[in-house]
Structure 1
Amino acid sequence: MHKVIDLKVLYFGTPVVLIGSRNEDGSANLAPISSAWWLGQSCMLGLGNASQTSANLRREGECVLNLPSSAQVDAVDALALLTANPNISEMRREQGYRHERRKFEAAGMTELAGELVRAPRAAECPVQLECRLEAATPLAGNERCTAFEVKVVRAHVEEQLIVPGSGHYVDPVGWDPLIMKFCEFFGDGRRLAPSRLAEGWQMPGRLPGRLPGRTPAATAV
């Protein structure tokens, strides 16, 4: 039997993306999001207007979508409550956010140069999509967020993930994306751990527990 409820969160399950972009001083930024979907060679990104990534996208007109596998869950979680924007709202401070410009170092990831865009790639991510901004559309009824449409202009894929002999297709069995569902990480068909976001957003569930056999997340520097 179904029950009518007022859902507070609608994150039913989407892949995590680490958006690489350039700050106004030329330094590299790396930000995790899970509001992303693809159609053809385009991707739609949902971002808060107060984020540094939003400002970088509007100014630079480009980014790199780095797709982590489930093996990078700790690196992603290390970035969860960091922002390169020094102007942090009171609400975000209460959720646990703090200012950090050295995002690649905080995640323990290696910065690589893009080939067609200035935005940085993350070497450890099996898939890296260089993109250019096509459009930025305010969300109806939500003045705090924007939908950014980007076009993929070059794709870098770990060779072992390419279907042998195809040259153009990713092996859906070999590719194990990191998935975010209701502020918890999933991969390889199993629950990995709650995100650090879960506590700040006051999500119910099996918190704050980490699953047996997992090492603590990397500490931001």
Structure 2
Amino acid sequence: MFFKPQDGHGLPHDPFRAIVAPRPIGWVSTVSRDGKVNLAPYSFFNAVAGRPPMVMLSSEGLKDSITNIRDTGEFVINLATLKLAERMNETSRDHPAEIDEFEPAGLTAVASTLVKPPRVAESPAALECRLTQMVPLTDLSGDAGERLMAVGQVVGIHIDDDALTDGKFDMIKVGTLARCGYWDYQVTTELFDMPKPDAKGGH
């Protein structure tokens, strides 16, 4: 089949997010200008550079997280894992801005080292980030609607020592989650090694 997205697909559910998958989950903690903590998962999230490490997340709608990042310039990405899946999902509820999602999800907020937003104590890894760009996502007609992409530089990284195996971050041990299409998620249970043909040394 072929379809133009603006004309509709004729399927029971939109296949786009299932095709562009799996995607890392941007489980982002922020603090508003007046000090209110927010924690929410974002489906459109990824790493975009390595030197320095940089990440991006985008929001369809001016939600609390993207507004807090725009206003304060800081955020934390907490790793979502199978063990934390239900609690991560709980933080996706549309709570009023004054609700701290850590509490109803039964999560522990601990102070970050370099930024104001706290991180999730139960998560085996967290990235402390500072905003470098806030980019309106315009479509072909030039309309951005309420689509915003935040690009941040990772200024600090927390890793639970138990998440390391032979000096490598062990995605299988921690059960890293990914977002797929529809209501589907994926957990990392198997990896295979395939160096570049001209690779020299470790990556």
Q: Is residue 10 of structure 1 aligned with residue 12 of structure 2?
A: no
Distance 1:151 1:79, change over 3 A: same
User: Are positions 1:25 and 2:25 aligned together?
Assistant: no
1:112 is aligned to 110
In 2, Cα distance between the equivalents of 1:84 and 1:58? 19
CA contact (8 A) 1:134 1:151 kept: yes
Q: Quick check: 1:177 aligned with 2:186?
A: no
Matches within 5 A, 1:49-198: 49-85=61-97, 101-141=99-139, 142-164=144-166, 166=167, 169-182=168-181, 183-189=183-189
With over 3 angstroms needed to count, the CA separation of the structure-2 counterparts of 1:9 and 1:59, relative to structure 1, is farther
CA RMSD of aligned residues (A): 2.0
Structure 1 CA distance for aligned equivalents of residues 124 and 88 of structure 2: 14
CA shift, 1:80, in A, is 1.9
Distance 1:188 1:37 in 2: 16
Change (3 A) 1:84 1:31: farther
Mapped partners of 2:120, 2:68: distance in 1 = 17
| Unaligned ranges ≥5, structure 2 | 191-203
> What SS class does the counterpart of residue 174 from structure 1 fall into?
helix
Amino acid across the alignment from 2:184:
E
Tell me what 2:199 maps to.
none
**Cα deviation, residue 111, structure 1:** 0.4
Instruction: Compute the TM-score of the two structures, normalised by the length of structure 1.
Output: 0.71
Distance 2:100 2:171 in 1: 33
Amino acid across the alignment from 1:150: G
Q: How many residues align?
A: 171
Distance 1:57 1:153 in 2: 15
Contact 2:163 2:174 in 1 (8 A): yes
Residue type of the partner of 1:187? V
1:45 aligns with 57
**Alpha-carbon shift at residue 172 of structure 1 (Å):** 4.0
Is the contact made by 2:172 and 2:188 (CA closer than 8 Å) also made in structure 1?
no
Contact conserved, 2:115 with 2:129, CA < 8 A, in 1? yes
More off after superposition, 115-124 vs 100-109? 100-109
CA apart distance, 1:136: 0.6
Cα 1:25–1:66 change in 2 (3 A) is same
Identity among equivalent pairs (%): 26
Q: CA deviation at 1:102?
A: 2.2
Q: What is the TM-score when the length of structure 2 is the normalising length? A: 0.77
State the 1:175 CA deviation: 4.0
SS of residue matched to 1:30: strand
Q: Any runs of at least 4 consecutive aligned residues in structure 1 with deviations exceeding 4 A, and if so which?
A: none
Distance in 1 of aligned mates of 2:63 and 2:15: 20
